Each structure stands twice: as C-alpha cells, then as structure tokens.
Amino acid sequence: MSAPLVDISSVSHRFGQHTVLKDVSLQIEPGSYTILLGPSGSGKTTLLSILGGFVTPSEGKVFIRGEDCTSVPPAKRPTTTVFQDYALFPHMSVGSNVGFGLRMQGVDGATRAAKAREALALVGLASAFDKKPHQLSGGQRQRVALARALVIEPAVLLLDEPLGALDLKLRRQMQDELKAIQKRVGTAFIHVTHDQEEAMALADHCVVMNDGRIEDEGPPERVYARPATRFSATFMGESTILAGTVTEASDRTSTVATPVGPVSLPGALPVGSTVALAIRPEHLVLGEARGGVRLGTAEVSDVVFQGSFKRVLAVSVEDPSLHFIAKLPATATVQPGDRVAISCDTDQIILLTD
Ligand SMILES: Nc1ncnc2c1ncn2[C@@H]1O[C@H](COP(=O)(O)OP(=O)(O)OP(=O)(O)O)[C@@H](O)[C@H]1O
C-alpha cells in the first residue's frame, strides 16, 4: 500500500485546562474527499487548524507527504485553507484575487493571469475575471475563493464549513459542484461540516467526531449502513435505539432481551453482556414484517410530511421511554393516535459496539 498523503499520529490538544482533541490518529489518501463531521465543539475546526498550521498540537505529530509538518507555519506547508467567509479583497478584481497567492510567491504578472484564468475556468467562472467580488452571488464568491486556493496547487485543500453562509438550495447545488471540482483537480480535500447530508453527498471518507475523538470513519455508505457506535448511528442519519441484554447464545445465534421482547441475532455474543441495537427509519415496518421480528406495539405521536416520504414518530406501549422513528411512503395513511404493530427484518438490525 502507498504511504498516506497526510498522517495524523496520536494528536491531542489542550486549550488551557480543556482537552479538545484526545489521541486522534487519521490517515488521508491522495485524491480523496474527506469530511470531518461532528456536532459543535467536537474538535473538527481545531483538527483542521492543526492540519493548516494555525495551531500546534499539545501532543502528537502531523506528517504531510512523509514530512513532519507539526510545527511548520501555514505559508510553508503544502496546504491551503478556505474559510466560510471567503475573505476576498473587495477592491481587487476577481482575477487579481485569484492570482494573489502567486503574487506573494513572486510569480510574474503574465503567468499569474494565465493561471488565474485556468483556475477560474476550473470552477466554471472564466467570464468573471474582470469583475469585482460584489458583482457576484454568494455561491460565485465561494467558487472564487476555491479558485484562489487551488491556483497555488496545494497538496491538501482544507475547507472549514465552506458552504455555511449559503442558503439551503444553493448549498445543495454547491455540494454537487464542489465534488465535481475535486474530482477534476484530483487534490485531496478535507472539509469540516456539522451537516450529515453534506457529509453523505461529498465524502469518499467520512470521519465522525464527538468530544475530541474519532467515533467512526469510513466510506459514508458503510458508516450509514453499519455505524460503529451509538453516537455515529444517531448523528449520521437517525436511528431507533433498543438497549438489551444477551440472555442466550449458541454458535450461530444469540437472543437479546429488550424492553419490547426477545430479539434473535446472528452470531455468538457473550451471555450477560449489554448491547445496543439500532434500526434505521427506512427499515422499521408499521405492521408485521414477513419473516421479521416483532418489536411490540406503539402509538403514533407525530406524522411529518416531507414531500417524497412521511417521517413517523411513535412511542412504544410496552416501554414509553422507547421512541420509534420510521420513514414511510408519502401515500401512507397513518395518523397521530393510531396504534400499530412495529416490526423489522432481522437483517436490518445493527448491533452497536458501545
Ligand atoms: N482558541 C481557543 N481557545 C480556547 N478554547 C477553544 C479555542 N478554540 C476552540 N476552543 C474550544 O475547543 C472546543 C472544540 O472547538 P472546535 O472549534 O474545534 O469544535 P468544532 O467541532 O469545530 O465546533 P464548531 O462546529 O462549533 O466550530 C470547543 O469547546 C471550543 O470552545
């Protein structure tokens, strides 16, 4: 296997008494799109700032292309950061903004202009070269910021909530563009967001962070289908979580006692151990699932129409602390107050390790 482009090795960071990163190790492959996903305060921006050279970690090392960059200042390492607020110079033309980094490197005017034009073409803004930033829309300004970062050909592009200032529709549109641009240039992107939909739409590799640690990482399809932890199962998409205790186990199956009755799972689990089971909304059935497992009866508490589907919340009759979240077709006729059987296919139950 080839060496990773970026190797974050056992990084911890403290601000005063507050430890905000706890022994984080992460490898980034060349050409990959990595998303750092997590709630506010989980340490995403601090990790990105360490990669960009704006913060030196209290412990651990950062290698980029095999070189120890832990204490190398931002301008001297092969990274560029794109911030949420773009920070374009308002008095300069778009072309000069994009060429700014090259000017700092002492590149001559003609080469700067040619490279800036190339970078603008890459982000679909070739015609904006002579405009001023205020003549552009928010999405276009963000693309100029991207061109300005890409023109200096960094090994790694760091993006801190780059779409945070855009409205939802533009945000979704820019996600598609960002992904297309990243594939076109082939530069490794590391992008911080707390938006799980953004993570799923963009990432080749998704890193779920919580409280200064990496909870889960992998392709988004894997993280969604088989989350490693309870946090990951509820932060990257929604889940119904059932707590249980293993009461019996043979070579091939185990029985887990849950508040809504026994659930049989493949695999031998240690008898007496406590486990958590997660079920994604699209896998919960209101009614009996043929060949599936019955999860008791529930009373529907809310039905939210979401265009192409309905999101249904229901409270277990057997254990009112248990809340089911189901995704049903938009045509489903279920209403608040209805009492329904809940079930699911055994194959769709996710066993969580924490
Ligand atoms: N310069 C600083 N001095 C002191 N504490 C800081 C500093 N920067 C961040 N913190 C603290 O470190 C923790 C992690 O912050 P960080 O910004 O990395 O999280 P985040 O996951 O990016 O959150 P958000 O999505 O809100 O930006 C927070 O508790 C924050 O208050």
Query: Residue 339, SS3?
Result: strand
Q: How far apart are CA 76 and CA 352, in angstroms?
A: 43
Residue 260 one-letter amino acid? V
- When pLDDT is cut at 50, 70 and 90, the band that residue 172 belongs to is confident
Q: Mean pLDDT throughout 10-15?
A: 97
Q: What pLDDT digit, counting tens, does each position of 114-145 carry? A: 999 999 998 888 899 999 999 998 888 888 99
The pLDDT-based confidence of 167 (bands split at 50, 70, 90) is confident
pLDDT single digits (tens) 75-95: 899 999 998 776 789 899 999
User: What residues contact 104, with CB distance under 8 A and at least 6 apart?
Assistant: none
Among residues 12, 26, 3, 79, the alpha carbon closest in space to that of 207 is found at 26
Of all protein residues, the one whose alpha carbon is nearest to atom 9 of ligand 1 is 46
Angle at 267 between CA 264 and CA 269, to 5 degrees: 85
Q: What is the DSSP string of 196-208?
A: HHHHHHH-SEEEE
Mean per-residue pLDDT for 221-248? 93
The rounded distance, in Å, linking the Cα atoms of 51 and 186 is 19
CA diameter of the chain = 75
Domains of the chain: 6-234 (3.40.50.300), 238-352 (2.40.50.140)
pTM (predicted TM-score) = 0.89
CA of 84 to the centre of ligand 1 (A): 15
Per DSSP, 107 falls in state -
What band does 289 get if pLDDT is binned at 50, 70 and 90? confident
Q: Name the residue of 20, 194, 198 whose CB sits within 8 Å of the most ligand 1 atoms, as the mutation to test its pocket.
A: 20
HSE of 308 in the Cβ direction (CA atoms, 13 Å)? 1
Give the mean pLDDT of the chain.
Answer: 92
Q: Give the whole-angstrom CA distance, residue 178 versus residue 174.
A: 6
212 CA → ligand 1 middle, Å: 10
What is the reported pLDDT for 201?
92
In degrees, rounded to 5, the angle at the alpha carbon of residue 235 between the alpha carbons of residues 233 and 241 is 40
- Ligand 1 atom closest to residue 43's alpha carbon, by position in its atom list: 18
Alpha helices, H only, 6-83: 44-52
Conformation bin of residue 275: beta by default, left when phi > 0, alpha when psi is -120 to 50 = beta
The beta strand positions in the chain, using DSSP E, are 6-15, 18-28, 33-37, 59-64, 67-68, 79-82, 156-160, 188-193, 205-210, 213-218, 240-249, 253-258, 261-266, 274-279, 284-286, 293-305, 309-316, 323-329, 339-344, 350-352
* For residue 202, pLDDT beyond 90: yes
Q: What is the mean pLDDT of residues 251-274?
A: 91
Q: DSSP letter for 4, please.
A: P
Structural contact between residues 272 and 245, judged by C-beta atoms closer than 8 angstroms? yes
Q: Say what the ipTM of the complex is.
A: 0.94
The H or E element spanning position 232 is: helix 230-235
What's the full length of the chain, in residues? 354
pLDDT of residue 169: 82
Report the C-alpha gap between 70 and 16 in whole angstroms: 19
What's the 234 CA to ligand 1 centre distance in angstroms?
22
Percent of the chain with pLDDT over 70: 99
Evaluate if residue 1 carries a pLDDT over 80: no
What is the mean pLDDT of the segment spanning 297-319?
Answer: 95
Residue with CA at minimum distance from ligand 1 atom 25: 40
**310 to each of 194, 320, 327, 336, how far by Cα in Å?**
24, 22, 6, 12
Mutate to test the pocket of ligand 1, among 46, 158, 161 (most ligand atoms within 8 A of CB): 46
224: CA distance to ligand 1 center in Å? 26
Percent of the chain scoring above 90 in pLDDT: 78
**171-180, 274-283, 323-332: the lowest-pLDDT one:** 171-180
> How many angstroms separate the CA atoms of 33 and 46, rounded?
19
Q: Which of 11, 12, 13, 15 to mutate to test the pocket of ligand 1 (most atoms within 8 A of CB)?
A: 15
For residues 286-301, give the mean pLDDT: 88
38-84 pLDDT per residue, tens = 999 999 999 999 999 999 999 999 999 999 999 999 989 999 999 87
Looking at ligand 1, which residue's alpha carbon is closest to its atom 8? 46
What is the β-pairing status of strands 18-28 and 33-37? unpaired
For position 142, what pLDDT does the model report? 87
Q: Say if residue 354's pLDDT is above 70.
A: no
